[in-house]
Amino acid sequence: MRVHLHPQRRTVEVQGRRRVGQLLTELGILPGTAMVIRGEFLLTEGEVLEDVDEVEIRAVISGGTG
Amino acid sequence: MKCTRCRAKAEVELRAHNAGFCRPCYLFYFRRQVERAIAAERMFTHDERLLVAVSGGKDSLALWDVLAECGYATTGLYLGLGIGAYSARSHEKALKFAEQRELELRVVTLEEEGPGLAIPDVAAATRRVPCSACGTMKRHFFDTAALAGGFEVLVTGHNLDDEAARLMGNVLRWQRDHLARQRPVLPATHPKFVRKVKPLYLISEYETAVYAFMRGIDYIVEECPNAVGATQLLYKDVLNRLEHASPGTKQAFVQEFFRSGQPAFAAVENEEPQVCGQCGMPAYGTLCSFCRLVRQVEARRSPPGAAAPA
Ligand code: SF4
Ligand SMILES: [Zn+2]
Ligand SMILES: [Zn+2]
């Protein structure tokens, strides 16, 4: 499956079906710090992804103390 | 996973609240959380005019969206920080949001407010960390815009993660004066200050991002280039690790501080502001921190002796 990472603007290919939570762990992303988006919808951690899927992982943390 | 409210398929899971929501129920939940915070802390009423500080990011735009939906009298304020492409893009997002919803947006840009006031220039001239200079600028121009516009309240999009990270920073250095002033509602302590409120203070960054996504809000996803390496991000990361191991940690940290810790600090640190000798805004000292910063910038731009070389 194809995984687009934002705001890094990086795309990675991951082989084999797995749960969203597992994908996040493999990519070293803490759940709750990024949204996993497939098309128009968000996915919860238990959702299963297939090889044909294309998802966006969008970080939600912004920084700076202003 | 099923929606906690209606049993439909859940689109989002909130561990800290032990809940999952479908889209309509999530939007309902989010608005109710914001309204509860406004009511519980008596932040403002429907009769007051609110100035909402918007950065083009998810938090401030989500907040403005909720407030407008709930029928509050809002005007947006965008402060252009002069941080290259990032500022240009965030300005665009704020403008587009306001136009689409026919909301009034006021724009102030640092470059137009005075020579050398854009954040990168101030940081270079004063050798201060950009975020620290930026904080001073934001406070000053938010205060003066609220005063000039006759607004009763200044509303900012600080979320639970911002508050938790700030609290951690203040606690790690035991900054008693900062701890005394960190609260969700800051009453007007001076005739030239308006009330400052943070309706999202118990709502996590994840929750505001989800709300913005579900509402189709086009916000700036990129980070300000100065955020890289900012201590606040380190604190957020530490807190998110704690949160992952023990959901609800961030909320307890912040909520309990406001309930029991903050009043203790406020009781001993209640210095009254004086008036800035330069700009007339409230100040702790003879000059306000904004004017002190401007002095430093000016000193660097025309060093003493530059006009009369030896
Ligand atoms: S990251 Fe720092 S410099 Fe950038 S907008 Fe935030 S506070 Fe200002
Ligand atoms: Zn539902
Ligand atoms: Zn001043």
The pLDDT of residue B305: 59
Distance B233 CA to ligand 1 centre (A): 11
Q: Minimal Cα–Cα distance from A64 to chain B, Å?
A: 5
User: Has residue B22 got a pLDDT over 80?
Assistant: yes
Tell if the CB–CB gap between A31 and B244 is shorter than 8 Å: yes
* Option in A32, A37, A58 nearest B240 (CB): A32
- Cβ contacts below 8 Å, chain A against chain B, sum to 88
Task: Give the model confidence (pLDDT) of B77-136 as tens digits.
Answer: 999 999 999 999 999 999 999 999 999 999 999 999 999 999 999 999 998 889 989 999
What are the residue ranges spanned by the domains of chain B? 41-301
**What is the per-residue pLDDT for B284?**
86
Ligand nearest to the CA of B26: 2
**pLDDT at residue A11 in the model:** 97
Considering the entire predicted model, what is its pTM?
Answer: 0.94
CB B84 within 8 A of CB B117: no
Band of the pLDDT at B310, cuts 50, 70, 90?
very low
Going by C-alpha positions, the residue among B56, B208, B233 that lies closest to residue B131 is: B233
For ligand 1, atom 3, name the residue with the nearest CA. Answer: B131
Chain B, window 78-137: residues with a beta carbon less than 8 angstroms from a chain A beta carbon = 131-132, 134-135
Q: Region B288-293: what's the mean pLDDT?
A: 94
Q: How far apart are CA A24 and CA B86, in angstroms?
A: 28
The answer to whether B131 contacts A42, with C-beta atoms less than 8 Å apart, is no
B309 band by pLDDT with thresholds 50, 70 and 90: very low
Output the ligand 1 site: residues, CB below 6 A: A 63-66; B 81, 119, 130-131, 134, 224, 226-227, 230
Percent over 90 (pLDDT), chain B: 88
Could you give the ipTM of this predicted complex? 0.96
Q: Whose CA is nearest to atom 2 of ligand 1?
A: B131
**How far apart, in whole angstroms, are the C-alpha atoms of residue A5 and residue B292?**
42
Q: How far is CA B240 from CA B30, B165, B247, B304, in A?
A: 21, 10, 9, 48
Nearest to B227 among A46, A58, A64 (CB): A64
Give the model confidence (pLDDT) of B233-249 as tens digits: 999 999 999 999 999 99
B11 vs A contacts (CB less than 8 Å): 41-44
Pair B139, B151: CB distance under 8 Å: no
**In angstroms, what is the span from residue B81 Cα to ligand 1's centroid?**
9
B297 or A65: whose pLDDT is higher?
B297
How far apart (Å, rounded) are the C-alpha atoms in residues B145 and B104? Answer: 14
Which ligand is closest to the CA of B7, given by its number? 2
Q: What is the pLDDT of residue B285?
A: 87
What is the rounded distance in angstroms from the CA atom of residue B79 to the CA atom of residue B248? 33
pLDDT tens digit string along B181-212? 999 999 998 999 999 999 999 999 999 999 99
Mean pLDDT by 10 residues, chain A (66 residues): 94 97 96 96 97 97 67
Q: What is the pLDDT of residue B103?
A: 98
Question: CA-CA distance, B207 to B62, in Å (whole number)?
Answer: 10
Provide mean pLDDT across the span B206-228. 95
HEC sequence for chain B = CECCCCCCECCEEEHHHCEEECHHHHHHHHHHHHHHHHHHCCCCCCCCEEEEECCCCHHHHHHHHHHHHCCCEEEEEEEECCCHHHHHHHHHHHHHHHHHHCCCEEEEEHHHHCCCCCHHHHHHHHCCCHHHHHHHHHHHHHHHHHHHCCCCEEECCCCHHHHHHHHHHHHHCCCHHHHHHCCCEECCCCCCCCEEECCCCCCCHHHHHHHHHHCCCCCCCCCCHHHCCCHHHHHHHHHHHHHHHCCCHHHHHHHHHHHHHHHHHHHHCCCCCEECCCCCCEECCCCCHHHHHHHHHHHHHCCCCCCCCC
What's the pLDDT tens digit per position in B245-287? 999 999 999 999 999 999 999 888 767 888 999 999 999 889 9
Among B89, B119, B293, name the best residue to mutate to test ligand 1's pocket (greatest count of ligand atoms within 8 A of Cβ). Answer: B119
How many residues make up chain B in this entry? 310
Which single residue is written with the structure tokens 């815009």? B145
The predicted structure's pLDDT at residue A64: 59
Looking at every residue in chain B, the average pLDDT score rounds to 94
Whether residue B199 contacts residue B155, with contact meaning beta carbons closer than 8 Å, is answered with yes
Structure tokens at B30: 């989010």
Measured from the Cα of A65, ligand 1's closest atom is: 7
Domain spanning B41-301, CATH class: alpha beta
B238 touches chain A (CB under 8 A): no
